[in-house]
Structure formats: C-alpha cells, structure tokens
C-alpha cells in the first residue's frame, strides 16, 4: 500500500528545512547503505550526528506527531530518526530493498527498529528538478511518485524501489523508517480503510450506534493484531 500524506510540513517549516539544507555540509550517501544497496546508491546525505540533521530531524518528528493521516496509515510504534539526502548531477539510487532492521544510535546505545514502512518526505518542488522519481514496485505493479514539497509517501519497506537519475536541479528529501504496531501490511490497509470509513460515516451524520459498533470492531482488530 502506498499512502500519500499531504502537507506534513507548514510553509515556514519547509522554508527552514530548505535554508538549512542548502548550506549544509553533505557526505557520500553510502554511509548508511547496506552491502547490496551501496552498489546501487549514488547520492549525498547529511551526517546523522550533524547539527542540521539533529535539528531538522526533530522538526520532522514533531510534524509527524500532529499528522492524523500518518498515524492512521502507519500505526507507528517506533520511528527511526529522519535522515536527509540530496540527488543532483545525474545521481540516482538503483532498485533495492531496505534493510529489515535499522539501529537507532541517537541515545548512545543501539536500539533496533524493524523497518515495516519506508517514508520519503519531499523537500524540493517537482519543477525544481528533472528525474528523481521514486519508483516503487509491489504486487499491484510499478508506481511512480514525485510529490510537492512538504508532502510524503509511505510504502512497504519490503518492496523493490529506486530513485531515477536527477538530470537537472537538486532533489532534497527526508527519508526514514517506521516500525508499526501492526507488522502485516494487509492488516494495516484494512485498518486504514475501516478508519476512513468510520470518519466518513461520522461526517455524514450516520446512526450513532452503528458508528459505535464499527469503532468497536476497529479497536478490537487493532487489539488482536498489534504488537506492544
């Protein structure tokens, strides 16, 4: 399931991100790639411990916490600290699958995060660069994603995906992974569809006892399927 999450960042937050990233000191993006991914990866990345990465990572994390679409779709248990990358001058990232487990070392010790969901938060407008499309392949086919700045896409970390070469301009983005309360993607999709349906019925003024029963079904499924 691919989920488009609109307006994750405000215009002021987006401007802060872009200003800091444009003056940041970038390094080779392969520093966070696994053995197989490193052979396909050609981009730039902010060092994880840099002041810019720490400040902007906290900004993105705070934005996620207030976004109801993100919570409904991801059902997050753990969120890996957001990272930031840049593609320019023909750089790309060939087809790969994300590592199953990432280790969050921001607190001084390594805490494992199972990568159920991958996220790309676009920080450049689509007309600012050519190429740079995120291509995700899953059981439903191939999907091409190139979103407005401040918008985000969520997709299964188990899927093959790539970033096509950026032939003009600069593509800035934040990327990170989520360990969900519900590991299985098909169950997360069902819960999201049920959640959206309940909200639509409430907005339409549906009979309250019926909405209450459906809400109970949602929470009982979440209780049965969630990992704590």
What is the per-residue pLDDT across 156-209, written as a single tens digit (0 to 9) for each?
999 999 999 999 999 999 999 999 999 999 999 999 999 999 999 999 988 899
Same domain, 176 and 190: no
Could you tell me the CATH number of the domain that includes residue 151?
2.60.120.620
Chain position carrying tokens 């349906």: 197
Task: Say how many C-beta atoms besides its own lie within 10 A of residue 112's C-beta.
Answer: 12
Lookup: tokens for 23: 């003056």
Say if residue 114 is in the same domain as residue 191. Answer: no
Is residue 168 helix, strand or coil? strand
Q: Report the binding-site residues for 2-oxoglutarate.
A: 171
Residues 80 and 153 in one domain: yes
What is the phi/psi pair of residue 213, to 5°? -65, -45
Lowest mean pLDDT among 89-98, 106-115, 179-188: 106-115
Kindly state whether residues 165 and 98 are assigned to the same domain: yes
Sheet of strand 92-96: strand arrangement: 41-42, 92-96, 160-163, 134-138, 141-145
- Binding-site residues from annotation for Fe cation: 96, 98, 161
Question: What's the CA gap between 95 and 73, in Å, rounded?
Answer: 24
Q: How many CB atoms lie within 10 A of CB 46?
A: 25
Q: Is the same domain home to 119 and 141? A: yes
Residues 143 and 175 reside in one and the same domain: yes
Taking the complete model, does pTM exceed 0.75, yes or no?
A: yes
Domain residue limits at 221: 185-225
pLDDT, tens digit (0-9, with 9 covering 90-100), for 6-55: 999 999 999 999 999 999 999 998 876 555 566 789 999 999 989 999 99
Whether residues 213 and 169 share a domain: the answer is: no
Q: Which amino acids are annotated as binding site, given as ranges? A: 96, 98, 161, 171
CA pair distance 198, 82, nearest whole angstrom: 31
Statement to judge: residues 131 and 159 lie in one domain: yes
How far the first Cα of the chain sits from its last, in Å, is 23
Same domain for 193 and 173:
no
Task: Report the domain count for the chain.
Answer: 2
Which one is predicted more confidently, 138 or 170?
A: 170
Task: Say if residue 79 is in the same domain as residue 157.
Answer: yes
Q: What CATH number did the domain enclosing 191 receive?
A: 4.10.860.20
Q: How far apart are alpha carbons 79 and 5 in whole angstroms?
A: 16
Shared domain check, 35 and 137: yes
């Amino acid at each position: 399931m691919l989920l488009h999450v609109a307006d994750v960042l405000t215009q002021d937050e987006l401007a802060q991100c872009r200003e800091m990233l444009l003056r940041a000191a970038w390094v080779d993006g392969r520093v966070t790639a696994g053995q197989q991914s490193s052979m396909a990866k050609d981009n730039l990345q902010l060092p994880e411990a840099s002041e810019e990465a720490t400040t902007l990572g906290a900004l993105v994390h705070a934005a996620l916490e207030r976004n109801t679409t993100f919570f409904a779709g991801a059902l997050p248990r753990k969120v890996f600290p957001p990272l930031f990358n840049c593609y320019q001058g023909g750089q790309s990232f060939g087809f790969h699958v994300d590592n199953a487990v990432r280790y969050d070392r921001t607190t001084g010790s390594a805490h494992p995060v199972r990568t159920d969901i991958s996220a790309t938060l676009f920080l450049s407008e689509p007309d600012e660069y050519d190429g740079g499309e995120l291509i995700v392949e899953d059981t439903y086919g191939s999907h091409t994603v190139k979103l407005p700045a401040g918008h985000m896409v969520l997709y299964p970390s188990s899927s093959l995906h790539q970033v096509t070469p950026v032939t003009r301009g600069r593509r800035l983005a934040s990327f990170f992974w989520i360990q969900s309360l519900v590991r299985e993607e098909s169950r997360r999709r069902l819960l999201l569809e049920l959640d959206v349906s309940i909200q639509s019925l409430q907005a339409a003024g549906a009979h309250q006892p019926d909405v209450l029963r459906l809400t109970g079904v949602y929470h009982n499924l979440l209780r049965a399927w969630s990992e704590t």
